[in-house]
Each structure stands twice: as structure tokens, then as C-alpha cells.
Amino acid sequence: MAEGGGWRPPRPCEAYRAEWELCRSAGHFLHHYYVHGERPACGQWGRDLASCREWEERRSAEAQRSLCESERARVRATQRHPMVWTPRQSPPADWHLPLPRDKDG
């Protein structure tokens, strides 16, 4: 990342605030608990919001480093999961044929 005045946070501070509020909402809590069986961890969004505000107010190098590390960790977390489907290079050879009929129908 560029040092000094040219650097900007990866997201606007409003985006961090919106993510933090969404994470703390009742609907998100219920969904996350139902899907994962545990409470959502919203602390990182709060820390990122605080770092973003500190960067905007004081241009703190520590806040800049914290935001960059946090965004890198998010990218690594999304890349950790393999794709479910293998992308096709071309359609199946018989794609234009009619579908088989059921024996009952």
C-alpha cells in the first residue's frame, strides 16, 4: 500500500459501520447461530471501524497496518474454500436432445 497521504482505507468507514451493525443484528445472530451453531464474531468489524475512524482523524500508521492486515485475512479466508462445481469448458455433447420421459407419464 502507498504510504502517506495517498493511501485510502480498502473500504469507506461507512461500510465497516454497516457490516458491524449487520453482524450485531438479531436476524443475523439467529441465522448465524442456526447455520453454524455458534454466536457470530463481530469484534473484528468493530476493530476495523475504530481503525478506519482513527485513520481518518489522525492518519495513524498503526490503523493503516491494522486495516490492511484485516482485509488480507478476509481475502485469505474466502480463498481457503475450494470451488464446489468444476467449471465446464463446453456443453455436453447431447445437450440438444429431448429429456427422457418418465415411464409413469
Cα Rg of the chain (Å, integer): 22
What does pTM read for this prediction? 0.68
Short-list 75, 55, 54, 51, CA closest to 8: 55
More confident residue, 94 or 82: 94
More confident residue, 84 or 65: 65
Cell numbers placing 47:
476493530
pLDDT tens, position by position, 28-52: 999 999 999 999 999 999 999 999 9
Is residue 3 scored above 60 in pLDDT?
no
Euclidean distance between CA atoms 41 and 101, whole angstroms: 50
Q: Model confidence at 1, in pLDDT bands (50, 70, 90)?
A: very low
- Over residues 10-37, the mean pLDDT reads 94
Euclidean distance between CA atoms 12 and 33, whole angstroms: 28
